[in-house]
Every structure is written in C-alpha cells, then in structure tokens.
Structure 1
Amino acid sequence: MAIFNKVLARMGIGSARVDTKLYKDQLIAGEKIEGVIEVYGGNVEQEIDSIYLNLYTSYIREVNDSKVKENYLLNSFKIADPFVIQSQEKKEIPFSFDLPADTPVTMGRTRVWIATGLDIKNAVDPSDVDHMEVLPHPILHATINAMSDMGFRLRQVECEEAPRRLRGRLPFLQEFEFVPTRGAFHGKLDELELMFYFRAPGKFDVLMEVDRRSRGISGFLAEALELDETLVRFTVTDEDIPQLKSLLESVVARYS
C-alpha cells in the first residue's frame, strides 16, 4: 500500500498541497508583501526541493494584426530551502518581499496575482494562486482626481505592449485613457492618455499623449496621418500634488 501511495503522490493524487495567505491583499506598489505559506503533507512523506512565489500580471500585445493577452512574470522569489514534509504534517513558512515599484495598479482590466508552487522531485508540482489589489500611488490617485476635476472621464485602463523607445524595465506600459465630457477641453480633444514611469520614491515621469479633435478636411487628413497626436513628457513629485490640477491644465492647454 505504501508503494501504491507513493505512485499516486507522484501523479499528484494524495500529494502535498500548498495554500498561501496574505496578511494584506491591498497594497501600493513598493510596499512590503507579507504572509504565510501553509504546506500540508499528503498520504506519504515527500521531499520538497523549494517553495517559490511568482508575481504575475498580463498585458495586450499584437500578433499578426490580432490582440492577444500574455501573462508576464514581474518577479520571482524563492522562499524555502529543501525540506521533508511528513504524511499529514502541516508546516507554516512566513515570507515578506517588496512589491516592485513598477507593478501596475489593478484598475480596469489589469490583474495582479501571486502563484505559489512547491517543487517536488519526480512528482506533479502543486500550486496555489492568489489575486491581490494594487492601489494607485498618491501621485497617480491625485492625477486621476485632478483629471476628473478638469472634466475628463477615465474611460479605460489597460496594460499594452510598448514601443521599444518607450519601454522601461517592463515590455508594456499601463495606459490611463481619458475622454473630455465637460469643461474647457470638451470639443477640443478626442482623448488623452497618461502613462507613468517610476523614477524614485515619490517621483514619476508622466508620458501624456494628447489626441486633438479633427476639424475640417485638414484636420481629417492630420488625423489619418496621426499628426493630430502629441507626446509630452514631464516629471511629477509628491510636492506637486497640491497644485497638480493647475500643472496638468497648463500642459494640456499648451498642446490642445
């Protein structure tokens, strides 16, 4: 029977299993993730080569004129060295690591999750998936509020593959797409997109794409040639938050 149980365990039946519990599942990028990994022994003793935590998100990229969603590994962490888990034994392994500062926020279609895995030699590796909520940094939060005060509605938030010239550490950018529904820019702009690059604690570079509304035949031709779009880059820090609305208004007005 013992041999039969070992065979089943190698197939993943009656094998060890894992469950990750986060102390907080709402975090701002750059904060520390803390939790505990619970490992439950199966029907037989098994040697665990390692425990790993993989932090994932996904983004949209174009392949042969079609848009596909691709999972992306933001970071990977090895949590434990080899150990043996006895039959029906329970082990608790605490962990902590920093959520990367460029982790996208979980707004719109963006999702972020942790995949926990046990590496068991000659057996099916059990795993566990835990989604988490990544909240906007105060600068992002203030920017979104300022755009709303200026009459813009946040229409879409999505991670999309970035041109090589605009990439940072990641192959994608998270785009915040706004449309003017009232105020001074209603009727002047089709849309406005914002993208954020983390530079240092409390400091972001902002890439703004201003899409002006076409007017008449010349405007139509400009739109067809994408000449009606302007890319603007500027820096925002924590100290800019109190006057962020006026700062954004001046930038948008200059290029609208």
Structure 2
Amino acid sequence: MWVFNKMLASIGIGNAKVDTKLEKSQYTLGETVSGIIDVQGGTVEQKIDEIYLTLHTNYEVENDDHTYQKTATINRYLITQPFVIGPNETKEIPFSFQLPFETPLTYGKTKIWIKTGMDIKNAIDPTDQDYIRVVANPLIDSVLHAVKELGFRLREVDCEEAPFRFRTYAPYFQEFEFVPVSGAFRGHLKELEFVFFVKNDQALEVLVELDRKSRGLAALFGDSEKNVRLSLTSHDIPNMKHRINDFLIRYI
C-alpha cells in the first residue's frame, strides 16, 4: 500500500499541499508583506526541497499593431531549506519580505499576485496563488493629490513594456496620464504623463512628459512634447502642490 500511495503522490494524488495566508490583502509600496504558509502532508512521507514565493505583475506589450498581456516576475524569495513532512502532518511557516519599490500600483488592468511554490522530488509540485492590492506610498500619494488640486484629472494608468533605456529598472513601467479640466494649465497643456521611479521611502524620480498646446512655429514643427525629470523627496510633501506647479510653469 505504501508503494502504491507513493506512486499516486508522484502524479499529484495524495500529494502534500501548500496554502499561503497573508496578513492582509492591501499593502503600501515598500511595506513589509507577511503571513503564514500552511503545509499539509499527503498520504506518504515526502521530502520538500524548498518552498519559495514569487511576486508577479502583468503588463502590456505591443507587437505588429497587436497588444497582449505578459507576466513579469518582480522578485523571488526562498522561504525554507529542505525538510521532510510526514503523512497528514501539518506545518506553519511564517514569512515576511519588503514589497519592492519597482512594484506597480494596482490600477486598471494591472494586477499583482504572490505565487507559492513547493518543490518535491519525483512529484508534481504544488502551488498556490494570492492577489494583493498595492497602493501608493506617502510620497507618490502626495504627488497624485497635488496634480489633482492643480486641476488635472487622472484619465488612464497603464503598465507597459519599458523602452530599452529603462530595462535595467524592470521590463515594464507604469504610466499615469492626466488631462487638465480646470485651473491655470487648462488651455496650455493637452495632457500630462508621469512615470515614477521610486528610490526609497524618502526619494522619488519622476519622468514627466508634457504635451503642450503649441502655437506658431512650435506647432508647425511639431515641437509640442517635452520630456523632463523631476526629483522629489519626503521634504517636498508639505508643499507638493506649489512644487509641482512651479515645475510645470517652466515648460508651458
């Protein structure tokens, strides 16, 4: 019977199972993700080579006028070294890791999930998958609020394949597209696009693309778009609206 059960486990029947239980489902960018991995032994004793977590997101890729979704692995975390689990034995394995700053925020079609993998020799490897919601840290949040207060509306957020010059950061980047609906910039800008490159909790680099309503020679030669960079720190948060306003005025 033992040999028969072992054979069944090798094809996934009566195999050990894994279930990840997160402390919560929403996290701020850069926050510590923690939880418990429940391992339930199967019908026979099995050696677990390792348990690992991988953090994933999806992004859009354009090819020959077609758009499709692709999955990126943001990071991989080794949780355990090899161990043996007996028949019907249960183990609770705690874990924690910091949510990487290159993780996109949960907007639109962009999803973020944690996949649990358990490597078992000579058996089908069990997996588990849990979606989480990632929200802006205080620095990005202050930028988004400031832009709104300046009369812009967030029109669209896309996570797209990154140009080659950004590939060392991640294979994707997340673009926030705003349109002016009121305030001083309405009539001067068609749209405003931000890409956030988070250095740490205290520092942020913003790639800004301004699409201006050009007139005269600028309109004739198509000189309506401007790409500039803006460096921000947590010290800018109390005066973020004025900081963004003064920055934009220089380019309209």
Structure 1: which amino acid aligns with 2:33? I
2:232 is the counterpart of 1:236: yes
Structure 2 CA distance for aligned equivalents of residues 97 and 71 of structure 1: 21
Runs of 5+ consecutive residues of structure 1 not aligned to the other structure:
none
Distance in 2 (alpha carbons) for counterparts of 1:210 and 1:120: 52
- The alpha carbon displacement at 1:172 in A equals 1.8
For 2:163, the equivalent position in structure 1 comes to: 163
Counterpart-to-counterpart distance in 2, 1:229 and 1:164? 20
Structure 1: distance between partners of 2:106 and 2:218: 40
Matches within 5 A, 1:219-234: 219=219, 222=222, 227-234=223-230
Shift of 1:221: 5.9
Gaps of 5+ in 2: none
* TM-score, normalised by the number of residues in structure 1: 0.92
Q: How does 1:91-102 map to 2 (within 5 A)?
A: 91-102=91-102
Cα distance, 1:252–1:218 mapped onto 2, change above 3 Å = closer
Pair 59,220 (structure 1): closer, same or farther in 2 beyond 3 Å: farther
- Does residue 176 of structure 2 align to residue 176 of structure 1? yes
Name the SS of the counterpart of 2:250 in structure 1. Answer: helix
| Partners of 2:108 and 2:157 within 8 A in 1 | yes
TM-aligned CA deviation for residue 6 of structure 1: 1.8
Answer yes or no: is 1:249 the counterpart of 2:242.
no
Give the match's secondary structure for 2:75: strand
**Offset from partner CA, 1:127-179 (integer Å, 9 cap, x none):** 00011111101111011111111111111112112222244421221111111
Q: Which moved more, 1:15-24 or 1:183-192?
A: 183-192
Match of residue 63 from structure 1: 63
1:120 paired residue number: 120
Please tell me the root mean square deviation across aligned C-alpha atoms, in Å.
1.8
Q: Residue type of the partner of 1:43? A: T
Aligned residues: 252
Distance 2:132 2:22 in 1: 9
% identical equivalent positions: 48
Contact 1:168 1:197 in 2 (8 A): no
- Deviation above 6 Å: which 4+ runs of structure 1? none
Q: Within 2, Cα distance between the matches of 1:19 and 1:201?
A: 31
TM-score by length of 2: 0.93
SS in 1 for 2:88: coil
Alignment of structure 1 residues 197-216 onto 2, 5 Å: 197-213=197-213
